[in-house]
Chain A
Amino acid sequence: MLLKDEVQLLRNVPCFSRVDPCKLKLIAFASARICYEPGDILFHQGDVADAAYVILRGNAGLFVGAGCGEIKIGDAGAGSILGEMCVLCDAPRAATVRATMPIEALRIGKECLLKVIADNPRMTSDISRSLAESLRDATALADRQPVRMPEPTH
């Protein structure tokens, strides 16, 4: 998969959809492409959030919970972005992400992501909107489900 294919995929990620293609190329270039085997961990709950991940291919499961047992709280497939919220608010990872099938992902470093957001005011509003949406959903579902990660929208 080449840089230009990655750019195509990035355009499908909601919060990047309105970013200038030229900038997307820059993001793709500044990111590292990493493969994961099924069972590999992208990041652990509680880790320092140092990067966001865009899944280019494959599927990952999101888990929360401590030692005794963990609860699966969602799935992420190709085109979803993971971990960007924790990067933005400088919080530790809220969930553990594990590959459920071979994954190819783009790892966007924290500094890089923050820089892109700062350079693209429109992106900021998109992110605020998706934050607000997930907050609303979470409030609505608070009774039934204690924790909920924002589902990737396609």
Chain B
Amino acid sequence: MENSLLRYIWNHTRPQQVWVLFIVLLSMVPYFAAFDLPKQIINGPIQGQGFETPDTTASFMAFDFVMPLTDWHINFDGIPLDRMSMLMALSGVFLLLVVINGLFKFYINTYKGRLGERLLRRIRFELVDRVLRFPPSALKQLRGAEVSTMVKDEVEPFGGFTGDAFVQPAMLGGQAIAALFFIFLQNVWLGMIAGVMVAIQVGIIPKMRRRLIELGRQRQITARHLAGKVGEIVDGIDTIHAYDTSNYERADIAHRLGQIYRIRYDLYRWKFLVKFVNNFLSQLTPFLFYSIGGYFALRGSLDVGQLVAVINAYKDLPGPLKELIDWDQARQDVQVKYEQLLEQFDPGVLIEPALQVVTPVAPANPGGALSAQNVTIADGSGARVVENVTVRIDKGETVAIIDNSGSGAEALAEAFGRLVWPVSGRITLGDVDILELPESVTGRRISYVSADSYFFHGSVKENLLYGLKHAPTTTVSYSGRDAINRRWEMHEAQMAANPHLDLNADWIDRRSTSILRGFSDDLKQSMLRALDVVQLTPDVMELALHSFLEPEDNPGLAERIVQMRHALRQALQEEGLANIVAHFDPAAYNPEASVGENLMFAATRTSTFGNDDITESDYVFEVLKVAKLFDMLYGMGLTIAEDLVEIFADLPPEHPFYQQLERITAADIAFYQQILQRRQARAGQADTEEDRRAVVRLSLHYVEPRYRLGVLTQEIMDAVVSARDLFYLNLPAELRNRIERYDPHRYMAAATLRENVLFGKLSNRVADAPAKIRQVAGRLMHENGLFESFIALGLDFDVGNSGRRLTLAQRHKLSLARALVRRSDFYILNRALPGLDKRVQEEIVTSVIDFLREQDNDPSIVWVLSNTSLSRLFHRVVVFDRGSVVADGAFEALDKESDIYKSLVA
């Protein structure tokens, strides 16, 4: 990138700058013509100059123009018009000029705007492009939030400046020089005075502004650090909570804001000071004219007429001059910002663009081994973690790398993955250094996985297939409006030197999936197998079961799930397990659900505002009263209250038994105790409505098999069931979209997939009910061919910011699965499964090796193991000790001969 922003703008927009300057000059013609016209209208038709007698005519638009240096005449005798017609004609011309001037202005501003926006787009793209080409060492220092504010906010002023970068100084400079020249014409001495004052102004003001620019630079840097800090707080919020350091962070932010405030306040003071000096200097010149010019005029050595003419001419000087100085200020400002950016975005070495060229078809496989030759690697501090290591990984090998001490194994794996660049020595694929190979070779032939792999915002599926999105593999053909739109997009992208690859095309490389048998479902099978191999399938299924499905989006699936619901019910009955689920039956009371749930008999959506419970809404109480249930539930509630008070009366509030009561706390027990006491004291008097509701609330949450108080009579159950219709009769609007009545023959959008399949409540009384139901439901799911549909639902789960909605173990597994979906020659797995227990680790390592060995391209696997005992699963073991290889050989050989290996594995 060029060192100066002006040069950058000039290089990229030269023809456009010349064009806009030309148009601006052209626009001057009607502009100045419009200046003269009002005088003509007033003097001519209105005041009557040249129209002394009523029938005089004047010629309209008469001109006689002699081409300079030739004697060509262009002339027009004009149209003779009387006074009134002349007035109308001239006014018409005036209106025309107004329109023309307006159009010129419109065109020029749009043009400049477009110029600026294109440049902005170009520079933003260039910055991100550079980040994509940063060497790994430079990236370690980078703070994401800072880079994003640089790309987003700090380049913003460049766009505005671009349009004016050359036009403004050309125009204003011209005007100022013209005005100065005119003063000189009137009087050389006064012209000298004006010239000196201009020189002082042009000399001093930018100097004073230097401090402004310095402050501006500081403001920019502090603001950027603030953005970085805010990003850090969001990323590290868990750690902040865990260590109670929120106030430290608050203090940090407040301190930074204080700094920014101080800088900005300083900036204002200086800005207005400079303004004051500037205004003062431009007013000083007339003072000199008046006093010195007046002095000479009085002495008689200067003609008064000349003086007046000079003072008049001077009127036109300060305006352009001031704007010119402002332009210069803007120029310096953006230049400083630009230099700032250059500093941040110039790490010295960049990856060659040729290495990242778009390559839709994977290059022909040159084969060859992956080898490290005399490689030395330094860590962030410069300490050598790998020293002079030579290792060769041949095709089809399975190699375990383990560390005795130090972190040489990890560093070597990172170097294989191009995450670090060796200080000396080289890593070659075939015979070529991997740093000189295009990424379309290294990034496809080598799959690197580590525990801190990143996840992008999107669904599980998008992340799983991320490793296949190298280049668009199809072209989309657009028609009609879309085609025009697409052409426009491509044109604009070219104008700003952006690539115009189509994001709507299919980017998934279907020819490099791990399972490649030439069938159309290779991709799907690769995903399913990869999930299986890393034991993520149950997790994805769990995500699916918790997900919500809009039946309109997928009516076929919803229909089949409802069928499965019925099939499940039947299967449970056949296997004698009917008692483990209490199904939702529109005509029956569900004993495992609370009284309130039985009344509503619906799936409910949680409200977006707070978590107010529909069971306790006013409407429920109204319905209870109309259905004559209120008194029954009141009576029932009193018994519950008595029992609860008796059971819990003497317990301290933190007693673990309160956990048995889902909604009731120690404070509630005391509250019900008071209600009961008040009732006794009043003996027969009516209770307050509030108390009665509180008591009824107890009944609404009552579930007989859980509480076992024996207060729920058949009469109450029948009344509740028959009140269901009543509940739906006048359902208020705000509840209507949160409640979806249970219907055994319909998919419930308000309920999760699991609830839709089960369509009932699991019994509290049956031991291991969830396991039993899972077994039957799992079998039915496979029988009905729903497994893949369910997995697809689970894969649609949004992983959140950097995958945080998944657990850590899930993220590690997904990261491994992402590599297994794609076909590579070398799989470098760098402590890919930390934090899993040993048994699971062993299972996954075994199944990954088995899975990859099934591939017909015979890939090599290099696994840096934290669990050294797993090295027996590999053919070859490489043992690192303090950065050097101390043992390298077949597992059996090392197991017999190498002491260091034996001590590690033991």
Contact = CB atoms under 8 A, between A and B. Distances in A.
Contact of B657 (A2, A4, A112): A112
A37 B648 CA distance: 33
A36 B772 CA distance: 12
A55 to B, nearest CB: 13
A34 B709 contact: no
A147 interface: no
Contacts of B648: 26
A33 B708 contact: yes
B902 to A, nearest CB: 31
Contacts of B655: 115
A73 B708 CA distance: 34
B764 A3 contact: no
Interface string B631-668: 00000000000010011100100011100100000000
Contacts of B660: 29-30
Interface of A is mostly: helix
A16 B648 CA distance: 19
B710 interface: yes
Interface residues of B, number: 19
A112 B659 CA distance: 10
B656 A26 contact: no
Interface string A36-49: 10001010000000
Interface in B756-802: 764-768
B19 interface: no
A22 B646 contact: yes
Interface residues on A, range: 20 to 34
A16 to B, nearest CB: 16
With a 10 A CB-CB cut-off, give which of B648, B708, B709 has the most chain A CB atoms. Answer: B708
Contacts of A34: 765-767
Contacts of B768: 40
Interface in A2-39: 2-4, 6, 22, 25-26, 28-30, 32-36
A2 B709 contact: yes
A151 B132 CA distance: 74
Contacts of B646: 22, 25
Contact of A112 (B656, B708, B764, B767): B656
B76 interface: no
Contact of B708 (A2, A42, A111, A115): A2
Interface in B693-750: 705, 707-710
A117 B766 CA distance: 27
A1 interface: yes
A35 B710 contact: no
B708 A40 contact: no
A40 B657 CA distance: 28
17 contacts: A1-B708, A3-B707, A3-B710, A22-B646, A22-B647, A26-B647, A26-B648, A26-B657, A28-B708, A29-B660, A29-B707, A30-B660, A33-B765, A34-B765, A35-B765, A35-B766, A115-B656
Interface of A: 1-4, 6, 22, 25-26, 28-30, 32-36, 40, 42, 111-112, 115
Interface of B: 643, 646-648, 651, 655-657, 660, 705, 707-710, 764-768
Q: Which 8 A-B pairs have the closest CB atoms?
A: A2-B710, A3-B708, A30-B657, A34-B767, A30-B660, A111-B656, A35-B765, A26-B647
